[in-house]
């Protein structure tokens, strides 16, 4: 039996850094990726998805914060 786990539960804290274009964010990403405890993915439009999906959300519940959709 495979148990469903939350992939972020192994990490004590998750932070997101969002940058505007042309401000050395690629350099920052390279520098952060040098640390063994940091994962800094390439620039992706995920922030636009989450903004459009959650921009009108006022109250957060435990269920909402543990699920993406």
**Domain coordinates of the chain in residue numbers?**
13-66
d(CA 50, CA 61): 17
pLDDT confidence tier of residue 1, bands split at 50, 70 and 90: very low
* pLDDT at residue 55 in the model: 81
- Which residues contact residue 59 at a Cβ distance below 8 angstroms, ignoring those fewer than 6 apart? none
d(CA 69, CA 67): 6
Closest C-alpha to 41, from 69, 12, 15 = 15
Instruction: Report residue 30 as tokens.
Output: 């390279």
Instruction: Output the CA–CA distances (angstroms, integers) from residue 16 to 1, 3, 4, 13, 39, in the order listed.
Output: 33, 27, 24, 10, 10
* pLDDT at residue 5 in the model: 55
- pLDDT tens digits for range 5-48: 555 566 667 777 777 778 888 898 889 999 988 888 777 777 77
């Amino acid at each position: 039996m495979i148990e469903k786990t939350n992939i972020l539960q192994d990490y004590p804290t998750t932070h997101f850094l969002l940058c505007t274009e042309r401000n050395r964010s690629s350099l920052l990403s390279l520098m952060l990726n040098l640390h063994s405890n940091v994962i800094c993915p390439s620039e992706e439009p995920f922030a636009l998805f989450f903004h459009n999906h959650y921009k009108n959300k006022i109250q957060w519940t435990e269920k909402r914060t543990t699920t993406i959709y």
